[in-house]
């Protein structure tokens, strides 16, 4: 007897969490076949209806049309990123163009758009709520930006471009994962001499994860960065660094350079078919920034002071290197090592001294406690099968109300792509009852040996708070329509809730309570805490330069003619802005997943900085009260930012919280670059 496919049954699990213990890789293909069928039938019924178009029979019907697709895709897309395998990757390659074709067929359905256009034209006579009007406007805009108004050959060509871009984005992602999965460097104990014990232990655990003896460094940021910080072996640092930045640029089947070139060419053609001069003009039109010039002005306002700070630091680092009798130019594989020495000299901070105070479990509790103080949330562990033994889940409540299920998946492994992100298995909506989200944070922290606590760097802890800020944006969402729930906001606004939440990690009372030594349980000493907070902006020149350079290259790629050789174009942009020789882009083009794994951050990598201008100003609202958890300010933050999704224009949401828009000075001051 063939086992039942879990996607076709009711999920009798806590809070209808996907039954991960029952779902097999082979269940996805038939489930997707049914999902495409159900969605097409429902959408065609909306398009072919003979009655007058209304908000209910158009927008609300379309909201319901993808219910089964959302159920299947919610599981598949999350597993493809966090616990992938050959079977899932093969299906992902098949699905990418199929999804694109399905979307084009929907967006370019003439009968469907005619009804949508009529509804939109009559919008002021429909007695809609503010949220409904916003949803209608966004739906109409989505159709237009997807080519609904195109005719003939242009319509056919845009559909073909969309399918090809989907294929290219999937290939880019899988190539990058393949490079990260296959590369590692083996070490002896002698090779790791001089490295702190936590790094040696992590290298040993990484070897065990791959069924190897001894010690390895992989391309996971949680391993490669501390190795570059602490290894006194300049030759090994160089090998590791060059492998790290060469992801996607190694020739052969996993090389991404041709994919980038074709992607840029197709993006420009797509934008021009839709009536825009460049892809940046197309991409930025619905964002807060609106224009490429506004983005460039922001980036260049930060670039010069950041570069000046980085150059000053480079002189100090060079002196330290020469003192080690290395008479060479400071190189990118030297920066982190000598920056760690400089931090020790200037702030008397040692990562080996700090790290025992930042236990993963304690930092999770700190993030939860801040959410309780700000928004009244509580977190209770859930005993349910999840997709990996390292993942864990909590029920999130506000008073007696169930708000969400939160899943945390924190450790690096070869089946997980690099980086850290927030996603969801189910979105919040209230169209058909109070549907609450299932939200997941995925990180890549180095796993500790069995029985030992996982220790984080302060930057790791900041990443945890950042992703939890995204999770709160999803879990606190309280709108009617899933189309605008949670993080469904302008790209250059979506990082505000996450970057803002990072600030609570640095609140002294939070660290005094949760930064406790892994061995003694003692709170972080006040004197050490003072040194840590005083050094928060240490090396900000470097951090700002590597980020801003990446954003400027992304912008140049999408505002100018597509280059035949993207790597030459990258070099030209970096040369034109005077990129310091000892710093590289945070994401070199062949591994710039934000920009080339899909359209998400394409021509929009600047958005982290755009949001940072707001997050610095937003946290100032709490500082002005003298209380980092001021109830009145927290309520305004909840009501205007975290709970509202995309129910209003992003600028209006921020004005509702703060009353005015901030200037770039807030960012420069926050980064210590003013």
The pLDDT of residue 1: 39
Tell me the pLDDT of the chain averaged across its residues.
Answer: 96
Mean pLDDT of 602-619: 96
Mean pLDDT of 48-71: 97
In whole angstroms, what is the distance from residue 402 CA to residue 398 CA?
Answer: 7
Statement: residue 29 has pLDDT above 80:
yes
Phi-psi region of 509 (alpha: psi -120 to 50; beta: other; left: phi over 0): alpha
Question: pLDDT per residue over 205-243, tens digit each?
Answer: 999 989 999 999 999 998 999 999 999 999 999 999 999
The percent of residues above 90 in pLDDT, for the chain, comes to 97
Question: pLDDT per residue over 372-405, tens digit each?
Answer: 999 999 999 999 999 999 999 999 999 999 999 9
DSSP 93: H
In whole angstroms, what is the distance from residue 267 CA to residue 595 CA?
Answer: 12
The pLDDT of residue 171: 97
In whole angstroms, what is the distance from residue 653 CA to residue 134 CA?
Answer: 13
437, burial (CB in 10 Å: exposed 0-12, middle 13-18, buried 19+): buried
Question: pLDDT per residue over 518-528, tens digit each?
Answer: 999 999 999 99
Question: pLDDT per residue over 442-493, tens digit each?
Answer: 999 999 988 899 999 999 999 999 999 999 999 999 999 999 999 999 999 9
CA torsion, ordered 441, 612, 585, 461, to nearest 10 deg: -40
In whole angstroms, what is the distance from residue 384 CA to residue 406 CA?
Answer: 12
In whole angstroms, what is the distance from residue 268 CA to residue 270 CA?
Answer: 5
In whole angstroms, what is the distance from residue 638 CA to residue 379 CA?
Answer: 18
Question: pLDDT per residue over 554-579, tens digit each?
Answer: 999 999 999 999 999 999 999 999 99
CA atoms within 13 A on the CB side of 546: 16
In whole angstroms, what is the distance from residue 31 CA to residue 310 CA?
Answer: 52
Which residues, 6 or more positions from 401, have their beta carbon under 8 angstroms from its beta carbon? none
Q: Where are the alpha helices (DSSP H) in 445-539?
A: 458-475, 495-502, 508-514, 526-534
The pLDDT of residue 351: 87
The pLDDT of residue 2: 54
Question: pLDDT per residue over 94-143, tens digit each?
Answer: 999 999 999 999 999 999 999 999 999 999 999 999 999 999 999 999 99
108, burial (CB in 10 Å: exposed 0-12, middle 13-18, buried 19+): buried
Statement: residue 34 has pLDDT above 50:
yes
Domains of the chain: 6-107+109-145 (1.20.1050.40), 183-247 (no CATH), 356-534+636-670 (1.10.1370.40)
The pLDDT of residue 356: 95
The percent of residues above 70 in pLDDT, for the chain, comes to 100
Catalytic residues: 467
Q: Is residue 497 within 8 Å of 643, Cβ to Cβ?
A: no
Which residues, 6 or more positions from 48, have their beta carbon under 8 angstroms from its beta carbon? 111
Write b or e for each residue in 362-377: b if 16 or more Cβ atoms lie within 10 A of its Cβ, otherwise e: bbbebbbbbbebbbeb
In whole angstroms, what is the distance from residue 406 CA to residue 549 CA?
Answer: 35
Q: Is residue 119 within 8 Å of 53, Cβ to Cβ?
A: yes
Write b or e for each residue in 648-658: b if 16 or more Cβ atoms lie within 10 A of its Cβ, otherwise e: bbbeebbeebb
User: Tokens 């083996």 correspond to what residue?
Assistant: 186
Question: pLDDT per residue over 578-599, tens digit each?
Answer: 999 999 999 999 999 999 999 9
């Amino acid at each position: 007897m063939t086992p039942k496919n879990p996607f076709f049954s009711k999920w009798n699990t806590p809070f209808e969490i996907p039954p991960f213990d029952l779902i097999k890789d082979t269940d996805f293909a038939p489930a997707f076949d049914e999902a495409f069928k159900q969605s097409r039938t429902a959408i065609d019924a909306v398009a072919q209806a003979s009655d007058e178009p209304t908000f209910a029979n158009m927008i609300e019907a379309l909201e319901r049309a993808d219910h089964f697709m959302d159920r299947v895709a919610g599981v598949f897309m999350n597993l493809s990123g966090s616990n992938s395998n050959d079977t899932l990757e093969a299906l992902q390659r098949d699905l990418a163009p199929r999804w694109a074709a399905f979307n084009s067929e929907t967006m370019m359905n003439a009968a469907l758009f005619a009804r949508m256009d009529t509804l939109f034209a009559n919008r002021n006579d429909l007695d809609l709520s503010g949220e409904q009007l916003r949803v209608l406007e966004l739906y109409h805009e989505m159709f237009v930006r997807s080519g609904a108004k195109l005719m003939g050959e242009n319509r056919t060509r845009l559909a073909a471009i969309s399918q090809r871009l989907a294929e290219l984005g999937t290939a880019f992602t899988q190539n990058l994962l393949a490079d990260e999965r296959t590369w590692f460097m083996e070490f002896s104990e002698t090779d790791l001499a001089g490295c702190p014990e936590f790094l040696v232990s992590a290298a040993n655990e990484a070897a065990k994860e791959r069924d190897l003896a001894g010690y390895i460094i992989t391309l996971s940021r949680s391993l490669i960065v501390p190795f570059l910080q602490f290894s006194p072996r300049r030759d090994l640092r160089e090998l590791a660094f060059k492998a790290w930045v060469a992801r996607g640029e190694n020739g052969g089947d996993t090389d991404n350079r041709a994919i980038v070139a074709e992607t840029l060419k197709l993006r420009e053609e797509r934008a021009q078919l839709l009536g825009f001069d460049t892809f940046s003009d197309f991409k930025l039109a619905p964002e807060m920034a609106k224009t490429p010039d506004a983005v460039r002005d922001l980036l260049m306002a930060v670039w010069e002071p950041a570069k000046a700070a980085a150059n000053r630091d480079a002189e100090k680092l060079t002196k330290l290197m020469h003192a080690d009798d290395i008479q060479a130019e400071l190189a990118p594989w030297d920066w982190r090592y000598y920056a760690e020495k400089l931090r020790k000299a200037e702030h008397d901070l040692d990562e080996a001294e700090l790290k025992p105070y930042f236990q993963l479990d304690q930092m999770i509790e700190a993030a939860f406690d801040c959410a309780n103080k700000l928004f009244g949330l509580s977190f209770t562990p859930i005993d349910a099968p999840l997709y990996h033994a390292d993942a864990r889940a909590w029920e999130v409540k506000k008073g007696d109300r169930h708000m969400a299920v939160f899943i945390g998946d924190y450790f690096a492994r070869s089946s997980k792509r690099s980086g850290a992100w927030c996603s969801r298995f189910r979105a919040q909506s209230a169209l058909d009852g109070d549907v609450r989200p299932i939200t997941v944070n995925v990180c890549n922290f180095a796993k500790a040996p069995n029985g030992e606590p996982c220790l984080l760097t302060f930057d790791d802890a900041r990443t945890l708070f950042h992703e939890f800020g995204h999770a709160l944006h999803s879990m606190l969402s309280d709108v009617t329509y899933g189309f605008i729930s949670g993080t469904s906001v302008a790209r250059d606004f979506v990082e505000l809730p996450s970057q803002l939440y990072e600030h609570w990690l640095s609140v002294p009372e939070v660290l005094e309570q949760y930064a406790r030594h892994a061995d003694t349980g003692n709170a972080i000493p006040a004197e050490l805490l003072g040194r840590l907070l005083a050094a928060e902006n240490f090396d900000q020149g470097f951090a700002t330069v590597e980020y801003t350079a990446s954003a400027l290259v992304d912008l140049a790629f999408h505002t100018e003619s597509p280059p035949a050789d993207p790597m030459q174009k990258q070099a030209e942009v970096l040369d034109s802005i005077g990129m310091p020789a000892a710093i590289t882009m945070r994401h070199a083009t062949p591994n710039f997943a934000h920009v080339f794994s899909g359209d998400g951050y394409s021509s929009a990598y600047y958005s982290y900085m755009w949001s940072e201008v707001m997050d610095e100003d937003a946290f100032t609202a709490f500082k002005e009260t003298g209380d980092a958890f001021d109830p009145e300010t927290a309520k305004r933050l909840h009501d205007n930012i975290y709970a509202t999704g995309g129910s209003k224009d992003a600028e209006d949401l921020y004005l509702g919280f703060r009353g005015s828009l901030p200037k770039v000075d807030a960012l420069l001051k926050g980064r210590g670059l003013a």
